[in-house]
Structure 1
Amino acid sequence: MVRRILLGSRLRQLRESRAITREAAGYSIRASESKISRMELGRVGFKTRDVEDLLTLYGVTDEKERADLLGLAREANTAGWWHAFNSVVPSWFPNYVGLEAAASRITAFEVQFVHGLLQTEAYAQAVITRGVRGPNVTRETIDDKVALRLERQKKLVAENPLKLHAILDQGAVARPYGGREVMLAQLDHLIEMSEHPNVTIQVLPFSQGPHTAETGAFSVLSFPEPDLGDIIYAEQLTGALYLDKAEEVSQYTEVMESLIRDCPSPAKSIDYLRDWRRAC
C-alpha cells in the first residue's frame, strides 16, 4: 500500500511537471482518466508495462530513475503476509493493515474498546464475536480474525518496533467485554504494555467533559519515508476513510494534540488503570 502511494505520487509529480493531462496519460496506456487518478492515489496495482509507457511519456530517460520506479512498481504488487486473511476481513481492511505494517508511528484515539494492537487474545475474541455480522460467520472465521489481530501486534515487540501512542476514552476501558476475568487480564496487559518504551497509553476520563473528537475514533499513521506524509484512518460500519490531504491531516492532528493535552499524563493514566482494576 505504501509503495503504491509513493509510486503514484511520483508519477503524478512527473505528469504535472510535463503539463500532461490525466486523459492524455490514460490514452498512452490504453486506460481511462479515472484509472490514472486511481493509480496516482495508490488505490490500484501497477502493471510494469504501464509504468514503462508512462515514464517514456513523461520523458524519464535516466536509467537509474527508471529502474528505481519500475522496482517500486514490482514491490507494490507483492502481497503482504496479511493477504492470507483476506477472506475473513472486509475488502477495505487489508489496505489499513498494509499501512500499519509500514508505519513507524501510530497515534490513535479509541472510544468503544481497547486499541486492537493492545488487546489480549481473550478480549479480542470477545470484541470480534460481538462485532461480526452475517449468517455465514463461523467459529473458524472468528478465530482467523483474532489470529490476524495477534499477528499485527508483533510489530510492537519487533527489533525496530512500531511507536504507538494510544488514547483511550474511559468508556473503552470500562466497558466489559468477555466477563470480569477477561477484563482484569486486559487491564493487566495495558499496564504491562505501558512499560515498553515504544508504547504510550493515556486515558481520557469522563470527568474531563466534552472533547474535540466529536466524530469518534481515528488514527494518525506516520511513516519513515520522507516523501510520504501522515495518513488519517477512520473506520466506519461499512468502510473506512483514508485522508492524506494536508489540510485534512492538519485538522485531525490538531484534534489529536488537543486530546493528548486533555488527558492526564501517561503515568497518571496508568495509575487510573490500576485503581480501576482494583475496583472491578
Structure 2
Amino acid sequence: MLLRYLAYTLAVIWLIHTLWPEPARAQQSPAPVSQCQAIAEATPAATFVSFAAPQATLAAATDGEVTITYLGHSTFLIETPGGTSIATDYNGWFRTAAPPTVVTMNKAHSTHYTLTPDPAIRHVLHGWGDDGEPADHDLVVGDTYIRNVTTDIRSGFEGMEPNGNSIFIFEVAGLCIGHLGHLHHELDDSHYRQIGRLDILMVPVDGGLTMGAESMSRVASRLRAALILPMHRRGPPINDFLDMFGDDYDKSFAAGPSVKISLRTLPSKPLIYVLQGV
C-alpha cells in the first residue's frame, strides 16, 4: 500500500512538472538590420540603387528631413527628424550650439579626432580599435542606426595600418548616409558589399592627402550616391575633383553651409553639391 502511494505521488509530481508552464524568458531586442545593405543586395543590377528600393521600404520611411551642415574640414553636423545630432570626424574645434548626441572620429591626423571630447556627448565612436581589434560599431541612437566599415590608413615609413580608419554609415528617415573619413586606398568588393546602398556620400577632395582626385572619383562613382557632398579640401581647387565626373552628374555650389534632404527629395540625377565653406 505504501509503495503504491509513493508511486502515485511521484507520478503526480512528474505530471505537474511536465505540464506546468515555464516562466517567460527575457526577450532580447533583435539586432539592428541594415536596410542599406538589404536593398543593395536585392537590386544588384540597379544603376542607382537609391531609387530601386522596394515599395514596402519606401512606405516605411518617414517623411522627415535630415539637415546636414558643413562645419569645417571633415566635420558635418547631421540633424535627424527625431532630434539626434551627429558630428563626423569630430575634433572639438568646430563647435555646435549644443553638444552632439553622437560623434565619430578617425585618427589619421589630429584634425579628425580628440581624446578630450565634451563629457556631455553621449556616444563617442572611434573609427579605430581601442583593443587591438578593428572598430565594430552597430548601434541605434534615437531614430538613427549607426555602423562602420573599416579601411586601412598609411602609417610611418610608407607602411599601412590595418583597420585604422572607418567609413561610418548612418541610416535614418529611409536614407543611407556615408562618410568616407580619411580614406587612403580604393575600396575592394568586400568593402562595397559591407557598405551597401548609399543615398548621400561625404567624400574627401584634397587631391592627395587621402587619395588623388581620380582614385577618389572612382570610389564615389562606384558607391552610386544620389547626393555627393565634398569635404576635406586642402590645396587643389574643387574643380579638379568635379572634372573627374562627366555629364551623368550635375554639379552645384550651395549658397549656404546646409542642405535639407529627405528620401523623397533626393535628386533624380546624381548631384555633387559643394556646401559653403568647402
Q: TM-score, normalised by structure 1?
A: 0.24
Higher strand share: 2
Larger radius of gyration: 2
Higher helix share: 1
